[in-house]
Structure 1
Amino acid sequence: MSFITDIIAWYEKNKRDLPWRKTRDPYVIWLSEIILQQTRVEQGMPYFYRFAERFPTVADFAEAQEDEILKLWQGLGYYSRGRNMHKTAQLVMEEHGGYFPNQYDQLIKLKGIGDYTAAAISSFSADEPKAVVDGNVFRLLARYFGVEEPINSSKAKKIFTELANEMIDKARPGLSNQALMEFGSLQCRPKNPFCDTCPLQLSCVAFGKGLVNTLPIKLKKVQTRNRYFNYLICRKGEHVLFNKRGPNDIWQNLHEFPLIETNAPVDPLIMLKSNEFEQLFGKKVILTGQYGPVKHILSHQKLHVNFIFIDEFEEHFKEKKNWFFTDIETLEQFAMPKIIFSFLNIFPTLKKS
């Protein structure tokens, strides 16, 4: 039996029962593919059901408000994916008459859809013979064929895509791609792969040469940037001061507390005496509590976050267009970063620490 035939046979016996595998609807497949980018299946499944129920058609998605989409997306991270999905849905309505395309050449022109996603949607919905090369497929091919080119190098994408296109069954490309991805995810796992029960064991280069724990090779990541966030909890009766983030930084258009970012960790009492702080809140501010620092890891950033409770503040900050007071009971209506709603789960009524 050939490489792909063995993998398809394995897939038919071991595949997971996933809802997006039961449809040829390119819209539904698109939902699943975007949601599952940078996300484990177990984590992404509830989000898929949530979006599919709220937006059963691409027209429903296109008509939604961005704030609603971001609220439903809350907790998944990489929020640009949600914003791009909204733009894609609107483009489908404008340029494709509300019919989500299922051909690679049309899909690749849509916002937020790259080679991988276009290949996946066209392959799964229309059996277009395009190889789908995700991290699981990179790993499987690198081990089986003994490819030592770093998978995140500039050459790797071309090498592995060409190899994957040679391997797939051209008569059953959708099934081939699903099988390759599932095999890499469940059998040829990143750590502790099931080599002892692998149907490819005898012909696998990595297994034969003892390179299973070495391949695939990956270049070192970009250096992580440290940032120091100081959130100010400014309560006024049953209202609290909130902020809507702007563009050109993380968490675009999400909501948070007023933020003072510093270049290094800072003592809250010292920060309260700074010129920047006094210009916003006056000189009579009282520090009533603190929570943190809390570490929050992003792809290339490490956030060190403090939550600082203050009282007796003056409202010199009214020129801040994105700052506004809102009822504490309405906070859950806003889309916000994970670090903020995790804080609210600890302080649901913003009681002082």
Structure 2
Amino acid sequence: MARVMTTSRPATEVLAWSRELTGPALRSAVETMPAPVRRIAGYHFGWLDAGGLAAAGDGGKALRPALVLLAAEAAGGSATAAVPAAVAVELVHNFSLLHDDVMDGDATRRHRPTAWSVFGVGAAILTGDALLALASEVLAAAPAIYAGDGVRMLAAAVLDLVEGQMADTGFEGRDDVTPVECARMAEAKTGALLGTACALGGLAGGADPERVEALRGFGRCAGLAFQLADDLLGIWGDPAVTGKPVYSDLRNRKKSLPVVAALTSGTPAAAELAALYRSGQDLGPAELSRAAALVEAAGAREWADTRAGELLADALDLLSAARPEPRPAAELGTLARLLVQRDH
């Protein structure tokens, strides 16, 4: 008889379990792609080096798959039944990363050169497109009990993600971005997929529509909190932890949530930061350091920390509303805290 876990596991153990359960299925799915994109995808996931040989690179935490699997268990179902949904969500996430790196011009991800910087912009974009198509194929082949609704859910999340990403890109050329607009962008760009991950898990676990929507709300709130934490890392994160250059968001003049909060704060720091962002010149180390100090002086760093905590509390309330099973609920809460309480 299989042992039933009754006590919650720490985040490291949950994520290792997620990778163990979804990793083989993810690799099997990627192996079905045409050879040229399969090689680039393998490099992006850390399975191959630039020459196509086996590697042991960092393929990511498998956080989103873990949310899918735990949400299925929280609904009273089996994590195994939710593996296709978990794989599909991870494929969509990595589609977005490949495209993000091209749009942001980022040269490193997960402590190694980005796919576009190794294989070229066009090849990286097409590989992202292939991962997106593969996600729909994987989910369409899932158990019929959730495949049809699941494909529609995932497609809606992708449209939200694209809308959010377009807004994010558009903000770079504007001087009048409001905090409300920025929060809406972040919820679409990041919250939509995390919310859908939890909703898909609930659907795979047999939850009724009300519980599915509560799980979705949990994921969306946790996702927005995560975006705030990620925005802080994009300014003050240690490259050894983030795998990206220091001040990467400021270098790209991103209108992230803390930056917009600073720019609209009405403080002297806001005016100086706006002048730096409008300068049109490449920001060197001194200017980047000054920009980071101005964001903090405007109170935006503290605001982002506080707001992330509020969103985490909202997420946990929505999780309770989903009437989850105790052990997976505790682990979902642990992952939500992990999303927010990172070093920055």
Same fold (TM over 0.5): no
TM-score band w.r.t. shorter chain: under 0.3
TM-score under structure 1 length normalisation? 0.27
| Larger fraction in helix | 2
Larger radius of gyration: 1
User: Greater share of strand residues, 1 or 2?
Assistant: 1
Q: TM-score normalized by structure 2? A: 0.27
